[in-house]
Amino acid sequence: MRSNNIRLALHATVLSSAVLLAACGGSDVDGSPDASTPPAAPPDQKFVDSAPVPDVPAFVDNIATNQRGDARFATLDTNAGARLVSRFLDLWHPLTEIVDAGVTAPAVGSFPAIVPSTWTGLPNDGTSGGTILNASVLTRNIQFVIDETTNRTQAQADAAYFDDRRGKGYSVTDGMGPLSDAWRSASQQTTTITSIPANATTVLFNDTGNNIGVGSASNPTFGKMVDLLSTMGNNASTEPAKRFYKYARPYRWSNSVIVDPTLVPAEATDPTTDGGYISGHEAEAMRDAVTMAYCVPERGPEMISRGLELGENRILAGMHSPLDVIAGRMFAYAAAVANLSDPANATLKSDACQQARAALMAATHTTPTTFFAFAHSLPVSVDRFADFATNKAASNSRMTFGFSQIESTDVPPVVPKGAEVLLETRYPYLSADQRRVVIKTTEFPSGFPVMDDAEGYGRMDMFAAYNGYGAFNGNVTISMDATQGGFSANDTWQNDISGSGKLTLDGTGTLQLAGNNTYSGGTQVSGGTLAAGSATAFGTGDVYVGAGSAMIGASAPVKVSGKFTLLPGTTLQMEVDGAGGGQLNVGGQLTFVNSTLHVTFANGFTPKVGDTIQLINGGVGTQRFSTITVDGFKASAVYSGGTVSIHLDS
């Protein structure tokens, strides 16, 4: 997520190897500093973006109605779980719109008694048990499973077996990467599913391990975290939705679906209570993954990736269809939001996060300063979630499983009530309103099957939301406090940020922008350090450093299309790799008035005395840096022909 070189440079406060000199020497037109008036800061926008709560019944307020076997909560209007995923009704009409598959319940007041549905669960018995409303989408839904199960590799089959049979909490813990062993040890997680059976007749049906681990009654150092994971399951059953929608599993829709042979004995024998929509495995796994990400946000994107991966493994197993999995993911987010937002859980979630972090740091011999680096210290060969680009591509694919948009593609994003709670540990320096805007600006487009629910859960892209804003609309002002440590001291946004808005950084922390950014409203630094981790980090507008500093990372030559201004007392930090990385190319006016230049060398670049290294292209004119620092060398500046270079004197 972050450049190691940038991270090291950002925290360097004592530069014993540096030599401070007045800027002098080199070729120039005039030996006096430029006294012209510097440009103004980019103009503020006329508004601040927001994400209003949709005016619909909110799952966060009604999760307790997600019940089966209670006549009061048996319909779409009265059951929050069934209602959440109700866009499936655009595609499929169940035999009855009641939570009644295999369910009996007495009447309660004006709510009539529930009698079991006559749904057989076997769509090929002459009746589908419901009405297909969109044959194209539902045919593709099953065809996707046929294709996946026909073409799966043995490795995919093995992964699908483990994710089917193991406790879901145990399975997703490997998304913690370098922290996985420490997590499992501290939580005292166990599993009895440790190998692939030799044949289907010896399949292990049930994991008799303890899944999420041992709670606080017997685990004083990590048990609160286990308690939180357990509490997150409150009112979070997927059975009410299954019993309402009565949509068969894919292998019952088509004999061409090839269930993993080791899982055939695990097929339920009573199809009348074994609906496929929605996926319970995915709902539980993603709920656990989101909760782990909440308490260890340093592995947040990776945990989201692991939850999404388990969903696809349900398809590869032949047990679920893509729409089952998509709805399971939606339900997981809603259950997590509701339980994390519950005031009754406020102390528990705080204690759980503190305990988890303390135990993991103790086990890994890390500190708050080194914890992030350790959490990303393994290569892809060991940590399959180590590569951001791979995770991003997989996440995008698993959001829609290749479905085409079937409705309007430009419906504005909708953010569920309370959803900002999922990001409160990830962005401690943002307000609740700003976290809602992060979710809003990273949401998927509209129009995909099932995903356009009224609350907005279907379009939520939590992998993207863990990687910063997706767009700047209006004024975006970020204030970071480095004394708080963690993300408040040093953070990286990897998303590609668009929009016409303006970013202002204030405070004392460091924010690195690492995406392919196109936002056009300009960038202002009023405090702290803003770092460029990509060639287009600063978008297409002006960059104005009025206080604090700007850093140009060694990942690529950084382009500023507009003006670049450094006011007195500010610093430009440049990491140079000798291959163009760390250079600054300015398209508009370049101004540095009584500011400091600090140069470091990265990625193994080892220049020698006598070298001249170009740093900046732009309209330099007759300006000078007041102070130049070059780590390891005495150096002088060279100002010539619209460029700034340094000459390593000794």
Q: Distance from first CA to last CA of the chain, Å, rounded?
A: 36
Q: Is 482 helix (H, G, I), strand (E, B) or coil?
A: helix
Nearest to 319 by CA among 402, 250, 241, 264: 250
Q: How far apart are CA 167 and CA 284, in angstroms?
A: 10
338, 295 contact by CB (below 8 A): no
**In this predicted structure, what is the pLDDT of residue 36?**
61
Residue 153: is its pLDDT beyond 60? Answer: yes
**Residue 525 shares a structural domain with residue 411:** no
Question: Is 431 a member of any domain?
Answer: yes
Across the range 596-605, mean pLDDT stands at 96
Same domain, yes or no: 289 and 178: yes
From CA 432, how far away is CA 243, in angstroms rounded?
A: 36
Mean pLDDT of 307-328: 98
The CATH code of the domain that includes 106 is 1.20.144.10
**Which of 442, 463, 487 is the last residue in one of the domains?**
442
CB-based contact 289:463 (threshold 8 Å): no
Contacts of 2 (CB under 8 A, 6+ apart): 372, 490, 492, 512, 514, 533
- What local confidence, expressed as pLDDT, does residue 621 receive? 63
Distance CA 249, CA 458 (A): 21
CA distances from 348 to 225, 229, 298, 341, 344 (A): 8, 10, 20, 12, 8
The long-range contacts involving 189-194, CB below 8 angstroms and separated by at least 24 positions, are 189/213, 191/166, 191/167, 193/162, 193/165, 193/166
Residues whose CB is less than 8 angstroms from the CB of residue 151 and which lie 6 or more positions away in sequence, other chains included: none
- Cα–Cα distance measured from residue 479 to residue 511, given in angstroms and rounded to the nearest whole number: 10
Q: Is there a single domain that holds both residue 93 and residue 19? A: no
Has residue 70 got a pLDDT over 60? yes
Rounded mean pLDDT, 607-618: 94
User: Do residues 511 and 529 lie in contact, with contact meaning Cβ atoms separated by under 8 Å?
Assistant: yes
**In Å, how far are 72, 105, 457, 539 from 114, measured between CA atoms?**
10, 5, 29, 59
Residue 203 has a pLDDT of 61
Rounded to an integer, the average pLDDT of 555-569 is 94
Is the same domain home to 39 and 64?
A: no
Q: pLDDT-based confidence at 20, cuts 50/70/90?
A: very low
Residue 82 lies in a domain: yes
In the structure, what pLDDT confidence band is assigned to residue 32 with cuts at 50, 70 and 90? very low
Say if residue 183 is in the same domain as residue 272: yes
| Region 605-631 average pLDDT | 89
The Cα–Cα gap between 59 and 25 comes to 68
- 324 belongs to a structural domain: yes
Res. 640 pLDDT band, cuts 50 70 90: confident
Q: What is the pLDDT of residues 465-496, one digit of tens each?
A: 999 999 999 999 999 999 999 999 999 999 99
pLDDT average, residue stretch 288-311: 98
Distance (Å, whole) CA 177 – CA 383 = 5
pLDDT at 441: 98
pLDDT bracket for residue 618 (50, 70, 90) = confident
Whether residue 8 has pLDDT greater than 90: no
- Taking the C-alpha atoms of residue 322 and residue 141, their distance in angstroms, rounded to an integer, is 6
CB neighbourhood size of 581 (10 A): 21
Q: Are residues 41 and 75 in the same domain?
A: no
What pLDDT score does 1 carry?
Answer: 42
Minimal CA–CA distance to 119: which of 103, 135, 134?
Answer: 103
Mean pLDDT in residue range 252-258: 96
538 and 626 co-located in one domain: yes
Nearest to 313 by CA among 180, 138, 211, 165: 165
Same domain, 372 and 510: no
Q: Is there a single domain that holds both residue 569 and residue 594?
A: yes
Domain boundary among 426, 442, 458: 442
Question: Cα separation of 513 and 543, whole Å?
Answer: 13
User: Are the CB atoms for 76 and 99 separated by under 8 Å?
Assistant: no
Mean pLDDT calculated for residue range 640-647: 88
Mean pLDDT of 223-231: 98
Tell me the C-alpha distance between 485 and 491, whole Å: 10
Lowest mean pLDDT among 468-482, 532-546, 615-629: 615-629
Indicate the pLDDT class of residue 324, thresholds 50, 70 and 90.
very high
β-strands 543-545, 523-525 pairing: parallel
Q: Which helix (H) or strand (E) holds 322?
A: helix 322-341
Q: Is residue 582 part of a domain?
A: yes
Q: Residue 373 CA to chain centroid, in angstroms?
A: 18
E strand map for 172-242: none
> What pLDDT is recorded for position 10?
40
Residues 413 and 522 in one domain: no
Confidence of residue 265 (pLDDT cuts 50, 70, 90): confident
> If you search the block for the tokens 């020698």, which residue do you land on?
608
**Please, which residues bridge with residue 549 across strands?**
529, 571
**Angle in degrees, 0-180, between the axes of helices 346-364 and 180-187, rounded to the nearest 10:** 120
Average pLDDT across the chain, whole number: 92
Cα–Cα distance between 77 and 547 in angstroms, integer? 55
The answer to whether 186 and 222 are in contact (CB under 8 A) is yes
CA–chain centroid gap for 410, Å, is: 23
What percent of the chain has pLDDT above 90?
86
Min mean pLDDT across 79-88, 119-128, 247-256, 609-618 is at 119-128
Which pLDDT tens digit goes with each residue over 434-472? 999 999 999 999 999 999 999 999 999 999 999 999 999
212 found inside a domain: no
Say what angle helices 280-295 and 154-165 make with each other, to 10 degrees.
80
- Is 463 domain-assigned? no
Predicted pLDDT at 355: 98
Q: Find the radius of gyration of the CA atoms of the chain.
A: 28
The reply to whether 204 falls in a domain is no
pLDDT in tens, 365-416: 999 999 999 999 999 999 999 999 999 999 999 999 999 999 999 999 999 9
Q: What is the pLDDT of residue 15?
A: 31
Q: What is the rounded distance in angstroms from the CA atom of residue 582 to the CA atom of residue 602?
A: 9
φ/ψ of residue 493, rounded to 5: -110, 120
Domain count within the chain: 2
Handedness of CA 379, 380, 384, 386 (dihedral sign): positive
- Quick check: is 459 in a domain? no
With beta carbons less than 8 A apart as the criterion, state whether 648 and 613 touch.
Answer: yes
Q: For 507, left (φ over 0), alpha (ψ -120 to 50), or beta?
A: left
Integer CA distances (angstroms), 285 to 22, 309, 315, 480, in order: 59, 10, 14, 33
Distance, in Å, from the CA atom of 127 to the CA atom of 120, rounded to the nearest integer, reads 9
Burial of 205 (0-12, 13-18, 19+ CB in 10 A): exposed
Q: Measured between alpha carbons, how far is 491 from 478 in angstroms, rounded to an integer?
A: 12
% residues pLDDT > 70 (the chain): 92
Which DSSP category does 129 fall into? S
Closest-CA residue to 326 (of 398, 269, 420)? 398
- The residue among 146, 394, 456, 167 whose CA lies nearest residue 288 is 167
Q: Which residue range(s) make up the domain with 513? A: 4-45+472-648
Model confidence at 35: pLDDT above 60: no
Which DSSP helix (H) or strand (E) runs through 244? helix 239-245
- State the pTM of this model: 0.93
**Do 180 and 100 belong together in one domain?**
yes
Q: What is the pLDDT of residues 178-199, one digit of tens each?
A: 999 999 999 999 999 999 887 6
Q: What are phi and psi of 361, to 5 degrees?
A: -65, -40
Of the candidates 396, 423, 442, which is a domain's last residue?
Answer: 442
Mean pLDDT of 321-337: 98
pLDDT in tens, 164-176: 999 999 999 999 9
Judge if 63 and 27 occupy the same domain. Answer: no
